[in-house]
Amino acid sequence: MPDSPRFLTLADVAEVLNTSVAQVYALVRRGDLPAIKIGGRGQWRVEAEQLEGYITRMYDETRSYVDTHPFVDPEGRPLDGDEVPPAD
């Protein structure tokens, strides 16, 4: 018997991602997060493995974004992670 459920409700996913159910529903409807509809009322379920895959993809996409969008000050000088660009 598995320790955690195979399928999660949208509320479960929202809790894991620390976001709203509406945001998770939008991810599902856009096709960003694979899910299935079950039952006569069409309740959405996300497989735990799909959620983990989504999280991994988001880490990869974020890394790619960070690599291609360096953290710079208003004059274009690179900043390290501890510096904050000055406010305008």
Residue 49 belongs to a domain: yes
Query: What's the average model confidence in pLDDT over 22-43?
Result: 96
Tokens 């996300």 sit on residue: 46
Look at the chain and report how many structural domains it folds into: 1
Which residues make Cβ contacts (< 8 Å) with residue 62, sequence separation at least 6? none
Res 78: pLDDT? 77
32 vs 82: CA distance, rounded Å: 32
CATH number at residue 43: 1.10.1660.10
| Average pLDDT value for residue range 13-28 | 98
Query: What is the DSSP annotation of 20-76?
Result: -HHHHHHHHHHTSS--EEETTTTEEEEEHHHHHHHHHHHHHHHHHHHHHS--B-TTS
Gap between the Cα atoms of 85 and 77, Å rounded: 10
Q: Is residue 71 part of a domain?
A: no
> Which structural domain, as residue segments, surrounds residue 38?
7-59
Question: What pLDDT digit, counting tens, does each position of 52-78 carry?
Answer: 999 999 999 999 998 888 878 778 787
